[in-house]
Amino acid sequence: MRIDIITVVPQLIQGFLEESILGRAQKKGLVDIHLHNLRDYAVRKDRRVDDYPFGGFAGMVMQCEPIDRCISALTAQRHYDQIIFTTPDGEQFDQPMANELSLCENIIILCGHYKGIDYRIREHLITKEVSIGDYVLTGGELAAAVMTDAIVRIIPGVIGDEQSALSDSFQDNLLAAPVYTRPADYKGWKVPEILLSGHQAKIKEWELQQSLQRTKTLRPDLLE
């Protein structure tokens, strides 16, 4: 899978992509992530890519041309399954959307900034608008990082134990069961007996009951 991220502040995401599981996934060749600085496609000498909005509204708006030039340069080289724009008024990002996007061959994520982008880009080039929650960030970079992380970690081979991605919270609309590690008794805080029994069928049953109970208590909406 290939992910192209377009942003005016690539340095905000760069370090995040190079570390830990995402960094290893790229080194292993399981995903190919490219950052593009939108300023490299600026039409103005000062490399600015924003301008005042028509109508006298407040704030600055990202111009059509640099975005169009950048996206066109990418789509001239390969087909993209989705051209995504990160925006608080987009479709809510969730686990099913992450699963679906992880099956794509190539995607572009365009990070919004300032007051927004010229709406014509959204009308003519963007195929999917995505929000990571009902709050407004200073830019779409964190949203792009969140989405990339959630998408990449479920690509087969990225997480060592494939089973563990499948038992995440939200897969099957259930929150994950609690997990424990050694020591079995820490300051009198004990690990549930069943987990030490070695009885796999009973442990599986316990895990499911815990998942159901936690979902019922913490996120009853998921069971509806």
Q: Which residues pair with 35 in a beta bridge?
A: 5
Residue 114 or 206: the one with the smaller Cβ distance to ligand ADE is: 114
By CB under 6 A, name the one of 9, 64, 137, 176 that touches ligand ADE. Answer: 137
Residue 138 or 197: the one with the smaller Cβ distance to ligand ADE is: 138
Tell me the angle at which helices 141-152 and 95-102 cross, rounded to the nearest 10 degrees. 70
Please enumerate in sequence order all residues whose Cβ is within 8 A of that of 181, keeping only pairs 6 or more positions apart, or say none: none
Residue 7 or 131: the one with the smaller Cβ distance to ligand ADE is: 131
Q: Which of 165, 142, 167 is nearest to 86 (CA)?
A: 142
Segment lying near ligand ADE (by CB under 6 A), choices 32-40, 117-125, 130-138, 182-190: 130-138
The reply on whether position 116 binds ligand ADE by CB under 6 A is no
* Residue-wise burial string across 117-143, b where 16 or more C-beta atoms lie within 10 A, e elsewhere: bbeebbeebbebbbbbeeeebebbbbb
* Token pair belonging to 86: 């990160």
Residue 131 or 211: the one with the smaller Cβ distance to ligand ADE is: 131
Segment lying near ligand ADE (by CB under 6 A), choices 36-44, 57-65, 125-133, 208-216: 125-133
The reply on whether position 131 binds ligand ADE by CB under 6 A is yes
The reply on whether position 135 binds ligand ADE by CB under 6 A is yes
The reply on whether position 114 binds ligand ADE by CB under 6 A is no
The reply on whether position 86 binds ligand ADE by CB under 6 A is yes
Kindly give the pairing relationship between strand 185-186 and strand 189-190. Answer: antiparallel
Q: How many CB atoms lie within 10 A of CB 27?
A: 9
The reply on whether position 59 binds ligand ADE by CB under 6 A is no
Cα 40 to Cα 36, 45, 49, 66, distances in angstroms: 8, 11, 10, 8
The reply on whether position 136 binds ligand ADE by CB under 6 A is yes
* Token pair belonging to 196: 């030490």
The label of the residue with tokens 């990225």 reads 158
Segment lying near ligand ADE (by CB under 6 A), choices 23-31, 131-139, 148-156, 191-199: 131-139
Give the shortest CB-90-to-ligand ADE separation in angstroms.
6
The reply on whether position 133 binds ligand ADE by CB under 6 A is yes
